[in-house]
Amino acid sequence: MIGALLAIGVLYTFGAGAARGVNAYLASKYNRPSPPIQPPPPEPSFPGVVSKEKPWLFGKEGEYEKYSNGCNISTKYETDNHPRAYYAIPRGSETDGNQFSEKSDKIVGILYHTPENYMFPLTPDNSGKIQNGSRGLIELVRNHKKYNYLINRIGDIYRIVRDDQAANHAGDSLWADAKNYYVLLNESFIGVCFESKFDGASSLDQILTEAQIISGRRLTDVLRAKYNIDDANCTTHGLVAVAPEEMLIARHHDWVHFFPFEAMGLSNKYKVQPPTITDYGFTYNDEVLAKKLGGKLWEGAAMAVEEFNRRAARAHVSPDDLRLKLRDRYLAQRNKTFGLHAEQGDVNNPRVSKNPAAGESTESGADQSTSAAWKALTEK
């Protein structure tokens, strides 16, 4: 089923892909910068069943919100964290890191994750263990205030951290739409996590169930309608996470490939040049390439590396010199966002410490690797 959906997506993207190829060729031929992120329009992946109406809240029933597109959200485990607050940074700002627009608390995007929990095979005899695993994951996510939403393996959708509150999902991170850059995406993006394991998978159907894909699509449509979220700002953790100390991409690498953008009604962000590379100069090394990216840069990232090198050449500086300057810019912007939260006087807010790892849980692997402890817990 997933294979069939993707095959349809591929058919739909072929025409648009050829047009973008021509544009990239012209841009490189005339040595002009490629245009800022302008992803192609979303492509239909469920032809014939895509609703033309935006979903709306149809009603509430017990601990569920029910939406007109069939999206049911459990509110049973809802919790809060801290109110959203960030600065949008206009694109094209210079590198002093000081050009911000108004402080905002609006939700501008969706960031998709995997939690890297232990996965029992989805078979009838494992139902009990799978349910225990999901309950444990909900508890963990709730305790760490880690994501706004969690979609379990049979497609149940749970709201954990309330929408108007920042969850601790993104860490050091950066993305942009046609208008603005956003740093520290906890503040401006909603975190949606699919209960799954990304590391070690070699295809989408090893990561998500069909039920998760259907629920992910419905939740995406609900959130986009509710907050008027631009397709350009629906992306994955692996494409936005950075390590500013070393200027490396993919600090977390969940969904650096295989994310079913088309099935979510979204344009394919693997074809978009990530602003982390084009505009801020984040880069990769052999270790990142081998251990996190599966030996290959995604298509947009490969184009972005060339674009950044051309940009440095036009400015008559080495890529590394430009990178250092842009690192200061990222750090200044990040610290200004931290400052917003220091003003709240919340002494318990770990991000006030300006520790780069603060604002997210201790993690390893693709996202948070809890495998050993996890298995022990769920096998009780």
- Residues of the shown chain interacting with Zn ion in the complex, contacts defined by CB under 5 A: 113, 237, 252, 254, 367
HSE value, Cβ hemisphere, 13 Å, CA-based, for 13: 24
Shortest distance, position 335 Cβ to Zn ion, whole Å: 23
Q: How far apart are CB 270 and Zn ion at their closest, in Å?
A: 16
Q: What are residue 100's phi and psi, to 5 degrees?
A: -120, 150
Q: Which helix (H) or strand (E) holds 28?
A: helix 2-29
Q: Minimum distance from CB of 301 to Zn ion (Å)?
A: 17
Pick between residue 97 and residue 238 the one whose CB is nearest to Zn ion.
238
Give the residue with the Cβ less far from Zn ion, 252 or 269.
252
> Is the distance from CB of 195 to CB of 154 less than 8 angstroms?
no
Residue type, 27: A
Q: How far is the CB of 302 from Zn ion (least distance, A)?
A: 22
- The answer to whether the CB of 322 falls within 8 A of the CB of 314 is no
Going by C-alpha positions, the residue among 334, 330, 364, 146 that lies closest to residue 252 is: 364
In angstroms, what is the minimal distance from the CB of 195 to Zn ion?
13
Q: Which is nearer to Zn ion, 13 or 370 (CB)?
A: 370
Cβ 259 to Zn ion shortest distance, Å: 11
Nearer to Zn ion, 86 or 259 (CB): 259
Shortest distance, CB of residue 70 to Zn ion, whole angstroms? 26
Structure tokens at 243: 């390590």
Q: Report the relative pairing of strands 109-113 and 234-236 from DSSP bridges.
A: parallel
Choice between 193 and 223, CB closer to Zn ion:
193
**Which tokens sit at 346?**
């919340």
Among the listed residues 318, 332, 329, the one whose alpha carbon sits nearest the alpha carbon of residue 279: 329
End-to-end Cα distance, the chain? 34
Written as six digits, the tokens of 261 are: 């953008």
| DSSP-based three-state secondary structure for 256 | coil
Pair of tokens at residue 233: 């700002």
